[in-house]
Chains A and B, each alone.
Chain A
């Protein structure tokens, strides 16, 4: 399964996949560390668990050890990646054990960015973070996409939220790609997805239900306000 060819550069892609494909997607790379692989010249880094035991005394030591491991150096570099992850330089002196979960995730993103990957894979974000922190992380990821041309891949069960923030989707079932492309493809391929028991975002379920049962065309949207306006127009 050559997934990488089906992920558009400089976009945020939501991967909707079953449990088996999820395992195969990247070996569920245990877990506490980053796996960087060269896939067709794309350097990919996976951030997929914040339950990491940091043994270092402070954040600076965490970053230095990480840089050492990958033969990287440069204080300016550290400041830049921290800044990108919206962590201030003050964090360098903090005890990593005492960081909040959202701060830990930001630190992991900072470390991932040290490797300057072209693809950043974020797995199970919603299992570790609340809605507010997820949105904070998504704002960072959107910035990385917009200003630094990073390709972002999200693998998460909270498809309702991530549907609203992604550009593209990639649907995998039983290690086969069922469909991929702009997120509206979930509407176009609704019957196929249903047949394969693929979870579908509630937005799409609602619009399809209205179309099938009331023969009313509400446009495919990813914002509740827009759906509300469409309903008003169609009544």
Chain B
């Protein structure tokens, strides 16, 4: 079982304490890191990626130096070369990039460059993956396709994805909610969404299907939270 474990990690920026001895464990599977603007999601990911100095310890399941596939704006903007050299034909087809396969990636728009970066990720056999706030640039169809692929390809890897949008988290195994540098919630997806009040109080918009099942549950029409519209509909009209 792979993991990344933060043990009493502290970080300060100038005079401000951002993290004060926080402990989080990221296990195999997809963990979504959510939080409002300023909650220090990106800072936490940079610390895990060893891009910022910190106090405390970050442990991995193995003792040797690990390589993290770190996908952020910097990575996306650093890509050069033609797409057919960066990606194989299957991935080009999967991501619907045939139209651009002879183009240099640096000439493409930012969302398309993100798609190419995610293609490179899908071709890698990374064990530790961080995706920092990239999904928002993709449309709903691409986002769903890529998240399903990540879930399938990296089922034995530790994947951490930060987002502002809870709708993205429906593919998660686990969700961590950060607020002002503190972990407010750290739960498996099913348990996470039973904390509706905390999420709403912090200004989050619940995913449609979760919101609907919570409301139906309130009126005893269903007895659990659903994450898949087909399952919910099939339960409602058997």
Contact = CB atoms under 8 A, between A and B. Distances in A.
Given A157-B140, A206-B229, A228-B212, A130 B36 contact: yes
B135 to A, nearest CB: 9
A86 interface: no
B109 A19 contact: yes
Contacts, number: 107
A126 to B, nearest CB: 6
B136 interface: yes
Contacts of B216: 228, 231
A199 B36 CA distance: 25
Contacts of B167: 158, 160, 202
A171 to B, nearest CB: 12
B233 A214 contact: yes
Binding site secondary structure of chain A: helix
A209 B229 contact: yes
Contact of B165 (A102, A158, A199): A158
B204 A131 contact: yes
A107 to B, nearest CB: 15
A99 to B, nearest CB: 11
A80 to B, nearest CB: 27
B169 to A, nearest CB: 13
Contacts of A209: 229-230, 233
Interface in A185-218: 197, 199-200, 202-203, 205-206, 209-210, 213-214, 216
Given A28-B109, A206-B209, A126 B37 contact: no
Contacts of B229: 202, 205-206, 209
A132 B36 contact: yes
Interface residues of B, number: 38
Nearest to A224: B211
Contacts of B111: 19, 22
Interface string B215-228: 11001010000000
A157 B233 contact: no
B215 A224 contact: yes
Interface of A: 18-19, 22-23, 28, 100-102, 124, 126-127, 129-133, 135, 157-161, 197, 199-200, 202-203, 205-206, 209-210, 213-214, 216, 224-225, 227-228, 231-232, 235
Interface of B: 35-38, 96, 109, 111-112, 133, 136-141, 143, 164-167, 202-205, 207-209, 211-212, 215-216, 219, 221, 229-230, 233, 236-237
